[in-house]
Chains A and B, each alone.
Chain A
């Protein structure tokens, strides 16, 4: 957690938040049990995942193209996978435990190797 935990006599009165946009400090990626893995080879850049992601965790480049998933904030809800219209799907959920110690490239190969 990046947030600094304050004592009872340090918190702002009434739970008021003075610095708007501070939800960025709340790294909701720590909640994740499952994670989506993205396959750029079959992705058609429809941006449905970007539209539906409740945490703005789909990353986009300056040309408006999807570039992957921000795992700092992705809660692993699976809505992007549900919405992905390609057949086979370009986003798939795997258990976080299975992702441990593997690079994104390795995971992609593992998850999508049977699909060409």
Chain B
């Protein structure tokens, strides 16, 4: 049983990093994730960590330094948001291609333009194909728990793939919640010592990292990399169980909230799930079979398991906190709908974009989604496959 504390989501991430005490952190400040490296710098100054904190001139350099330190054999972490994450882009692919288990706290935020510092999923969803493991947190507790688990997942010998742990900018990063901070020593024991596979600093066995692969090699290396990423699915489940055994909070690939017999189902990820749970509770009290499927692991996407949980649904709404950007719908929608194609369910699946640039999503907005789902089941008609929540003016 941990100690109950009242701290922000950023502080939750910072405490996880303090307890993990990585060899190297290279980071550059960007709202809303700035308080994470700031708190880490304070912990180091106070002698509570002995991490080498590398202050760099950009996020591109931050990820580059992380890659170098990880190839050298270190346990490496960083934190970023939005445009900072975007500036890391090419290095994100290099980190995953080199199979370096870097763990990054991402405080999800809108991408410019227009300039906006508030929460949405434009950054992490844009980076969904960079080959990183992506875990999305609903609240401060999960931001803390997921970071600790991410170290163990990323460093698993069958995985060896970088992982990011996202939480929603401001919704959780700057909001004080009560959560459980575990004992330093117990966390240390849980993650264990990191043993790198081919550290560059081991001069007894010299290796080359980052070599080139011509057309007769590149394809094989990329598929070998994909296998590592896909292996993460089973490891996420295993580590989620081990974490539960150690700390009492169990985690799986997703959270099925009142889903067993649910007919009207919302699929979402991140802080909006807290609001949705409240609405589901209210509907259940009135006998409405509402439920929530909270996606925790977005990459690798556990499509079979997620589709399985949706089989009782008569109508499904997927909430994406990002613009579909010209696709049939948001990324969560297209993947959920695609996953259902191989199952007996032919329940209608609709999509909403919500919460862009920190736009508030309140219980009444979630209620309106359930009302729409109910109407679809009653009339058998889908009027709009795609719509927006809390947008001024009707989307058409």
Contacts and interface: CB of A to CB of B under 8 A. Distances in A.
Interface in A39-92: none
B250 interface: no
The DSSP consensus for interface residues of chain B is: loop
A14 B199 CA distance: 12
A4 to B, nearest CB: 11
Contact of B207 (A10, A11, A17): A17
A11 B224 contact: yes
Given A9-B224, A9-B227, A20-B208, A14 B98 contact: yes
Among A8, A10, A18, which residue has the most Cβ atoms of chain B within 10 A?
A8
Q: In which size bucket is the chain B interface? A: 20 to 34
Given A5-B216, A11-B217, A16 B223 contact: no
A5 B227 CA distance: 19
B219 A14 contact: no
Contacts of A7: 220
Interface in A7-41: 7-11, 13-18, 20
A13 B207 contact: no
Contact of A17 (B211, B224, B228): B211
Contacts of A9: 224, 227
A15 B223 CA distance: 11
Contacts of A8: 219-221, 223-224, 227
Contacts of A18: 198, 205, 207
A6 interface: yes
Interface in B185-223: 197-198, 205-211, 213, 216-217, 219-221, 223
A19 B138 CA distance: 46
A15 B221 contact: yes
B35 to A, nearest CB: 33
B100 interface: yes
A18 B206 CA distance: 7
A13 B197 contact: yes
B97 A14 contact: yes
B99 interface: yes
A13 B220 contact: no
A1 to B, nearest CB: 8
Interface of A: 5-11, 13-18, 20
Pick the 8 closest A-B CB pairs, nearest first.
A14-B99, A17-B208, A8-B223, A8-B220, A14-B98, A16-B198, A13-B99, A15-B221
Given A8-B224, A9-B224, A15-B221, 6 more contacts: A8-B223, A11-B221, A14-B97, A15-B213, A16-B197, A17-B207
30 contacts: A5-B217, A7-B220, A8-B219, A8-B220, A8-B221, A8-B223, A8-B224, A9-B224, A11-B221, A11-B224, A13-B99, A13-B160, A13-B197, A13-B224, A14-B98, A14-B100, A14-B225, A15-B97, A15-B209, A15-B210, A15-B221, A16-B198, A16-B207, A17-B207, A17-B208, A17-B211, A18-B207, A20-B206, A20-B207, A20-B208
